[in-house]
Structure 1
C-alpha cells in the first residue's frame, strides 16, 4: 500500500487536472458572445440561428450515453484526448467558416462544427466529473461540484478574454479558443488518474430511492460496490460517526424489504451481488429515474433557451430604444452591444458556477441530517434550483429594459447551474458510481430535447414578430415575452415534478 502522502498528492493532482479539463470544456454556453456576429456574417434568420445553436446542444447532450459508456469502460484519459481533438476541430472550423471559406454552405458548416464542439464539451465534462466521482466517493457533492462549477465558469473566462482582446475580431477569437482548449486538455489528461478500489463491501446506495415508488433493482438488495481505500486516505474520505451510524441503520432497514415489500433474509441477500440496471434499462424500468429525467427536461429547456438567445434578446431591446430601429447600428452601437452580450454571458456563467459549487457543498452537509446539520435531502436542493429557473422565466416574461435582464440572468444562471450541480450527485448515489457515466449520459439527453424544443419555439415566435418589421430582426419585448411565458409554465411543471419526487423519496435521505 502506498504511503499516505503519496496517495493524497496524486489524488489532489488528479483533482486539479479534472478541474482544468472542466474549466475549458464548458464553452457551449459561450455561443451568445459570437452568435450575432456569426448570424450577421452568414445572413441567417432567427430560426436558422437557433438551429445552428441547437447543434452545440445536440452534440453536448445526445453524446452523453456514448461518452459515459466510454469513460466507464476505457477510462478518463482516452475520453479526454477525444475531447481535445473534437473541440479543436470544432472551433477551428467555426473560425474558418466565419472567415468565408465555407460561405456557400455556411449554415450547414457552422451547424456541423458546433455539433463537434458540443461533443467535445460532453467528453471533457464526463472526463472530469467521472474521475472525481470515483476518487471521492464519500464527498461526492463537493468533489463533483467543483469541476461542474468550473464547467459553468468556462464561458465567463473566454467571454472576458473576448471582451478585453478580441472585441472586433471574432475569427481570431474562435481560433484562440481552439488552441487554448486543445492545449489545456492535452496537458491535463497526463495527470488524470482513477485510483483502483482495494476493498469491496456489500452496501446499499446511501441515498437509494424507496421500492414503494417503483425502483427496479438495487433497492432493498445488497449490491457489491467498490469501496475506496479509506485506510490510506481517511482525511479525504472519512465520515463522522453519526453519519456512519445512520448509514448502518438505513442499510439494515432496507435489507429487510425487497422490491415488492416482502421480507427478505439479509444473510441470503448479502451473499448475492445483484446487478443494478443501467443506461436505457434503468430509465425504462425505474420510476424515480424517469421522474428525475423529466424534471431535468422541463427545467433545462427554458434555461437553455435563454442562455442561447441572450444575445438576440439584448439586441432586440437595444435596437428598439434607438432613434430609428430600422437604421443599421453604428460601430459604436455594435461595440456597446458586444459589451452587453459579454456582460450577460459572464453573469450567467458566474451565477451558474456559484450554483454548481454551492449546491454541491450544501447538499453534502444537508444530507447528513440529525440535530447537527439541516437534514435536507439532495432532491430538496434540486427543488431550489427549479424555483430559481421558474422565477427567472417569470421575470423574463415581464422584461421591459436591458437593466431588467440582470435579474433574469442571475436567476437562470443560479437555477441552471444548481440543476447540473446536484443532479449528477443524485444519479451517482441513487444508482451507483460504477455506471455513473452511462446513467448520467442518458439523463443528459433531456436537455437536448428540452433545449431544442424551446429554441425552435423562440426562433419561430421571433421570426413571426420580425415579419411585422419586414426585416430579419425583431425589435421590442414582444419578440420574446411569449417565449418566456412558455418557459415559466415548463419550469413550473418541472417544480411540480420535483415536489412529487421529493415526497415519494421522503423515507430516504437523498
Structure 2
C-alpha cells in the first residue's frame, strides 16, 4: 500500500492493484447489466403503477357508463309501462255498453267504476311501502298477474251475457259479482304498474337538474294511455253494423287486447325497472336530516336492539350493498379479489347501510304523516281529483243526456262521441303535465339560495298548481250553469278540455311537490298516501251522480235526458274544487312561514 498522510483524503490508486491481474470482463459486463436491469426494473414498476391507475380510471368510467345506460333504459321502461297502465281511464268507452248489452242499471255501472277506483287507490300506500323497501320489479310483476286476470275475466263475463237477475231468458250470463271481481284486479294492477314506474323515475333522477320534467314524462304517458287505447278500440276493434258500417267498440276483443298488451308490458317492467345509486340517495336523505337538526347522530349510530330486524336484502341494495344495477358477476369477481378481513368489513358496511335505509324510511314516513301541511295538500287533492275521476267515468252516460229525443243521427251526437272526449282529456292532460313539469324545472326557486343571488326569474310551483285547479273549476261551472252546456251540447267538449288540463296538471305537480318538500328516498310511500285520497272523492261523487241520474230518469227504460241528470252533481263538484283551491292556498302560506322552498 502507498503511504498516505492522515490529513489527506484516502483514495485508491492504480498502484494498489496488480498490473498483471486478469481483467474480469464478465464481472464488469455483469455489473453494467445489473445496473441497467435495475433501472429497467424501476421503470417497469413505475409503468405498472401508472397502468393500474389508468385501468382503475377506465373501470370507474365503465361502471359509470353502465349505470347511466341502466338509468336511461329504466326510464324508457317506466314510460312504456305508464303508456299502457292507464287503461281504466277508457272506461267511458264501454261503460254505456254495460247498460245496453248486459242490462246493468246505472247503479251497477257506477258500482263497477267505483270498485275499480277503490281498488286502484286504497292499496297504494301498501304498494308504495313495498316499492320503497323491496324495489319496483316485484310490483311490476304483480301488475302483470292482476291485469291478465282482471281483463280476461271481464272479457268472458261480458261475453256470457246479462246476469240472471237482469234478464228473463233461461240462458243467462255470469253473476254481476264476477265483473266486480274482475275490475278489482284491473284497478289494483293499474296502481302497481303506475307506482313502480313513477317511483323508479323519481329516485333515479332525484338530484337531476330537470327532475320535474323526468317525473312529468311518465305521469303524462299515463294520461296518454287512455287516449291511444280508446282509439284502438274505437277504430280497430269495432263491431260491424248489418249495412257494413263501423259500429261501436267490440268490448270482448277490446278486453282481450288490453290483457295481452298489459301482460307484455308488465313483464318488460319486471326486467327493466332498476334504481341506480340508491345508497347515495339514502346518504343524501340522512345528510338533509342532519342539516335540519332533526337527526341526532347518536340516535342512529348508538347500537341498540332493533325490534324490527332489517331483512337480508332490500330495495336494489343487495348483498353487495350497492344501489347500482351492477351484474352479479362483477360483484362476485370483486368479492373474489378481497381478503377475508375485507369481506367481513364489506358485509358489515352492507348491514349498516341496510339498517340505515330502514331507519331513514321509517323516520321519513313518520315525519310525513305528522306534517300538517301534508294533510292540507292531501285533502285538496281529494276534493279536486274526486270530481275529475267521476267526470271521466261518467261522461259516457252524460253524452246521451245531451242528445235530444228527436235526434236521429245517432252516429254523430251533438255532444260528441265518448272516444272523442276520452282522447281530448288524455291529450290535454298530457300537454298540461309536460308543460307544468318543464316550467317547474325552469322557474322553481332553488332549494339552496344562490350566492351571489341569481337574477333569473323564479316562482313557486303553487303558482302553477292553483291556476290548474281553477281550470277544473271552470269545467264544472260550464256544466253547472243551465244556459251553457245544457242548451248548447257542443260546449261539452270545452268541459272535457278544461278537465284534461286542470286534472292533468294537478296530477303532475302534486307528486313533484311531494318529492321536493319531503324528499325522494321515501317517495313511493309518501305519494301512495296522498294518492289514496282520490278514492273517497271519486266514490262519493260517482254515487251522487248515479243518484241524481236515477231520480231524473224515466221509469220505463231508465234513460235520462236534460240538465236534471247532471246539474246538481256539477254544482257540487264546482264547490268541491273551490274548497281544494282554498286548502292549497293555506298550505302554501304555512310553507312560506316555515321557509320551505316549494
Q: Please report the TM-score for the alignment, with normalisation by the length of structure 1.
A: 0.81
Query: Which ranges of structure 2 fall in alignment gaps of 5 or more residues?
Result: 1-59, 165-173, 240-249, 298-314, 316-323, 325-358, 447-452
Against the structure 1 CA distance between its residues 472 and 334, is the aligned structure 2 distance closer, same or farther, given a 3 Å change threshold? farther
User: Which aligned pairs between 1:26-37 and structure 2 lie closer than 5 A?
Assistant: 26-37=86-97
Tell which deviates more after alignment, 351-360 or 51-60. Answer: 351-360
Distance, in Å, in 1 between the alignment partners of 2:291 and 2:562 is: 53
Higher relative contact order (CA 8 A, sep 6+): 1
Q: CA deviation digits over 1:289-314, x for unaligned, max 9?
A: 11011010110111111111010101
Against the structure 1 CA distance between its residues 277 and 198, is the aligned structure 2 distance closer, same or farther, given a 3 Å change threshold? closer
Contact 2:102 2:162 in 1 (8 A): no
The equivalent position to 1:475 in structure 2, one of 540, 548, 561, is 561
1:305 partnered with 2:378? no
1:129 partnered with 2:223? no
How many Å apart are 1:432 and its aligned residue?
2.2
Show the counterpart of 1:67: 127
1:391 partnered with 2:478? no
1:315 partnered with 2:400? yes
Show the counterpart of 1:345: 422
Show the counterpart of 1:504: 590
Tell which deviates more after alignment, 14-23 or 104-113. Answer: 104-113
Query: Which ranges of structure 1 fall in alignment gaps of 5 or more residues?
Result: 209-216, 227-231, 233-272
Show the counterpart of 2:211: 140
1:221 partnered with 2:294? yes
Contact 2:379 2:583 in 1 (8 A): yes
Against the structure 1 CA distance between its residues 54 and 278, is the aligned structure 2 distance closer, same or farther, given a 3 Å change threshold? farther
User: Which aligned pairs between 1:149-188 and structure 2 lie closer than 5 A?
Assistant: 149-168=220-239, 169-188=250-269
Against the structure 1 CA distance between its residues 114 and 186, is the aligned structure 2 distance closer, same or farther, given a 3 Å change threshold? same
Distance, in Å, in 2 between the alignment partners of 1:205 and 1:431 is: 13
Show the counterpart of 2:548: 461
Distance, in Å, in 1 between the alignment partners of 2:189 and 2:461 is: 29
Against the structure 1 CA distance between its residues 479 and 374, is the aligned structure 2 distance closer, same or farther, given a 3 Å change threshold? farther
Secondary structure (helix, strand or coil) at the match of 1:82 reads helix
Distance, in Å, in 2 between the alignment partners of 1:183 and 1:146 is: 21
Show the counterpart of 1:192: 273
Contact 2:286 2:360 in 1 (8 A): no
1:296 partnered with 2:343? no
Secondary structure (helix, strand or coil) at the match of 1:375 reads coil
User: Which aligned pairs between 1:282-293 and structure 2 lie closer than 5 A?
Assistant: 282=367, 284-293=369-378
1:494 partnered with 2:575? no
Q: CA deviation digits over 1:378-424, x for unaligned, max 9?
A: 23322122112111111121312331111111111111111110111
How many Å apart are 1:142 and its aligned residue?
1.1
Q: CA RMSD in A?
A: 2.8
Contact 1:32 1:311 in 2 (8 A): yes
Q: CA deviation digits over 1:321-349, x for unaligned, max 9?
A: 1317xxxx8xx726869970000011111
Secondary structure (helix, strand or coil) at the match of 1:152 reads helix
Tell which deviates more after alignment, 121-130 or 184-193. Answer: 184-193
How many Å apart are 1:167 and its aligned residue?
2.5
How many Å apart are 1:132 and its aligned residue?
0.7
Q: CA deviation digits over 1:414-450, x for unaligned, max 9?
A: 1111111011121122222222111111111110000
Contact 1:80 1:185 in 2 (8 A): yes
Show the counterpart of 1:48: 108
Distance, in Å, in 2 between the alignment partners of 1:405 and 1:346 is: 14
Count of aligned pairs between the two proteins: 447
Q: Please report the TM-score for the alignment, with normalisation by the length of structure 2.
A: 0.70
Secondary structure (helix, strand or coil) at the match of 1:505 reads helix
Secondary structure (helix, strand or coil) at the match of 1:412 reads helix
